[in-house]
Amino acid sequence: MEAKEFVLTTIFIPVVAFIVSTWIPGIMRKIQARIQLRIGPPILTPGFWAVLKFIYKERIEPVSPFPRLYHSLPLIGLFLMFFIILLTTPAWVDVLGLTTLVAVAGLMKVEEMLYIFMGNLSRSIMSVRMPYPDQVKGAILKGNARRFFEQVSAIRTFKLISIGSFPLYIGLFVPAVVTGTISIVGVAVYQGFNTTSFAISDIFSLKPLLWSIPGVLGAISYFIGYLVILNEYPFSIMHTKADVIEGPTLEYAAWARASYYLMREATMFVMSSVFVTLYFGIPPVLGWALIPHVLLAMILPVAAAVVSAFTPVLTFKQIYPLSLGFTALGIVGIIFAIL
Amino acid sequence: MADVDRKDRAEVEVPLGMVHSALLEPFRIRLFVDDEVVVDAEITYDTAHRGIERMMEGMPVQKGLILTERICGICSHIHIWNGTRMVERGLGIEVPQRAHHIRVIGNEMERLHSHLLYLGHAFEILGHETFSMRCFMFREPVQNMLFFLSGNRVHYTIPVIGGIRPRCDIDKDKKQTLLAMLKSLDEELKAFGNRVINDTLIVSRIKDIGYLSKEDAIKYGALGPNMRASGVNFDWRIKVPEYKDNFDFEVIVREGGTVLDRVACRLFECLESIKIIKQALETLPDEEPINVGYELGRMGYSTSYNEAARGEIYDSCSLDDLGRIQSYINRTPSMSSLSAMEVSCIGDHLTDATITIVSCDPCLTCTNRVTVVDENKDKEYILEPEDIRRLARRKI
């Protein structure tokens, strides 16, 4: 029975995550559009039809020193995200001892690192390769290193990983401090989740961490980290169109762009799903209980859409203090949890 | 790292343009950066020349003036008005006061839509889509007003020599409608302005960047709102008789010299423009809007200055015996304002540098000049006004 559940979970949870995640960009765009007094695109267009369109576009070779590796990075990201959501399911508890917050944090770090690789592997025409007239005529620029937009983005991603994503990891570990375990399912069980049988009606008997002071502080921290890892406004410095345009993903076209969209959509959903598991105590399980999980997982994307509609892109001048501020908030949450 | 070391290090250059999402028009920016802080900048334009001044040579002046309007799609009215004004001054043609009022209305409406477009673009570069779209929503009624006034949303062709086109005359109903539209725009803009100035995140992005001191503004020739945002109290509207004799308004001057000041300056100028339009509508003289009793003929060099949305505009031309243009010079403000931005973006973060450069509201269709590439001699040069004059003196 356990083996059967394991196999079914391994197949169906990523499928559900994939299907649901195609709706998220559309929902976000619709909310932003309504705030901006626009109609906005049909909900499935940005996340599903756009992907389908890109898959069927003419395949274009990226300008990159390692084109195949560059193309495979979004797929690796997509795989990582599905792996993360599986690690939060009760069916995977006994697999190699991986279902811990440490494993999730590590995989998220890898996800962030992918953007550095993308940035270093892309050589779009938008910057260095678009020559100026003096260069065309043969001018030699001595002692002058020219930097691609994507390289600038890679450096920015590194800075974001170093400082910007602190709040995310603090937000991940606040539940561990409150519950005294780094097991993800253990955190859910602490909040009243029953691993053997869980029905929709059992939701009302849960005691979510979110209703506690450390929970609220940790959730705020996690939300800021969510925006950072998604490179969503106001933390979209990595691909701000004011200078680096699309940044590391500038060279993705056709099916590669489709796979990048899928990776991003999956990140949106999975990160939110992890939040629901940690702060509401409802992990993704097969059965009707998956419905409330999916619905609650819309909280973060909706909040992100609202925040991004009202904020400009921040530079590191603002990101550093903001990040440190929200990290401090998370630490206060941890102190409350210890007390 | 010490400055001594910096000399030994390779400079890192981040090139932007010719094609870039932050630059609506084709120009190139070379930013030399230390980490992401701009240590030097180079801005180059002159890639999209259309040769309008040259095209005008030999044209009947009425036709040539229509062509001046095509220099720019945003500030088209001021080009034709200043050109018309220049000819009227040169030939001593009297213009009815009613026509002056309507020309001023056209210019201030144009300033409104130009500034709102600027604000929309600035917020877009800052990444604040909501504010950007709000600006375009405010701009829409202004475009409608221009359509209502002239029958066109772009290229209104309001002035003709001696007055204005009859289709642009304002009757009682038009006046009431325009006043009602202005009232609601005034209220909405004031509320929006308050919101922008009090938005902590927006202000934190633009308050300390793109600093241009008063001395540098004068030295590098920043014009219009860029100059006034650096504390230089000058506006051609306080010298041009059509404005100074008829309307009461305030010249917006700010001392800060930063991007915030340039944005705020334009925001407050919008409110002043509304004030001027209201006054012009309310005091519109009851008379014919055009004087047709004039004769065109030889005219020596005549000049005219005026205040466009982006700053000082200068037109100069001479006519032959048949009233045809011998030579025409049009100088627009973006050229010198852009040069000033080369200085002001130094010390900014890379992302801030683009908003600094764009904060001078560059208009490349107005600015670009002829670049002649002589393939035989393998050299390139830009036509200066003196070259154009020299070419203009050839036998037609």
Per-block mean pLDDT, blocks of 10 residues, chain A (339 long): 86 96 96 94 96 94 92 96 94 84 94 94 86 74 81 92 90 95 94 85 89 96 94 91 89 94 96 96 91 95 96 93 94 93
For B380, other C-beta atoms within 10 Å of its C-beta total 14
pLDDT at B2: 40
Q: Do A36 and B133 touch (CB under 8 A)?
A: yes
Of B13, B33, B126, which has the smallest distance from its Cβ to A313's Cβ? Answer: B126
> Which of the two residues, B374 and B248, has the higher pLDDT score?
B248
Residue A139 lies in a domain: no
Q: Do A315 and B205 touch (CB under 8 A)?
A: yes
pLDDT at B395: 45
Do residues A3 and A11 lie in contact, with contact meaning Cβ atoms separated by under 8 Å? no
Give chain A positions within 8 Å (CB) of B204: 314, 317-318
Q: Would the pLDDT of B388 be above 60?
A: no
In this structure, the dihedral spanned by the alpha carbons of residues B162, B165, B171 and B176, taken in order and rounded to 10 degrees, is: -100
pLDDT at A126: 82
How far apart are the CA of B10 and the nearest CA of chain A, in angstroms?
Answer: 5
Residue B347 φ/ψ, nearest 5 degrees: 95, -10
A249 touching B (Cβ < 8 Å): no
pLDDT at B385: 58
Of A143, A146, A243, which has the smallest distance from its Cβ to B350's Cβ? Answer: A243
Q: Please state the rounded mean pLDDT for residues B369-390.
A: 59
Give chain B positions within 8 Å (CB) of A37: 133, 137
Residue A138 lies in a domain: no
DSSP string across B357-376:
HHTT---HHHH---EEEETT
Q: Would the pLDDT of B256 be above 90?
A: yes
Of A128, A156, A234, which has the smallest distance from its Cβ to B201's Cβ? Answer: A234
Q: How many domains does chain A have?
A: 1
- Mutation target among B39, B128, B198 for the A interface, most CBs of A within 10 A: B128
Q: Compute the distance between CA of residue A88 and CA of residue A285 in angstroms, rounded to an integer.
A: 9
Give chain B positions within 8 Å (CB) of A235: none
With CA atoms as reference, the chain B residue closest to A236 would be B127
pLDDT at B386: 64
**Which tokens belong to A145?**
């290193």
ipTM: 0.92
Q: Which residues contact A241 (CB under 8 A, 6 or more apart)?
A: B21, B22, B125, B127
Q: Which residues contact A83 (CB under 8 A, 6 or more apart)?
A: A107
Of A20-24, A245-249, B334-338, B339-343, the one with minimum mean pLDDT is B334-338
The chain-wide mean pLDDT, for chain B, equals: 88
For A140, other C-beta atoms within 10 Å of its C-beta total 7
Dump pLDDT digits (tens) for B69-88: 988 889 999 999 999 999 99
Q: Compute the distance between CA of residue A322 and CA of residue A122 in angstroms, rounded to an integer.
A: 30
Distance in Å from the first CA to the final CA of chain A:
41
**Closest Cα partner for B23 from B371, B363, B339, B261?**
B363
Do residues B158 and B122 lie in contact, with contact meaning Cβ atoms separated by under 8 Å? no
Q: Exposed, middle or buried by CB within 10 Å (0-12, 13-18, 19+), for B262?
A: buried
Domain of residue A307: give its range.
Answer: 2-128+146-338
Residue A273 lies in a domain: yes
Q: Is B380 helix (H, G, I), strand (E, B) or coil?
A: strand
Pick the CATH number of B52-334+357-371 from 1.10.150.130, 3.10.20.30, 1.10.645.10, 3.40.50.1820: 1.10.645.10
Q: Is the dihedral of CA B350, B74, B197, B261 positive or negative?
A: positive
Print burial letters for B209-242: b (CB count within 10 Å at least 16), e (below 16): bbbbeeebbeebbbbbbbbbbbbbebbbbeebeb
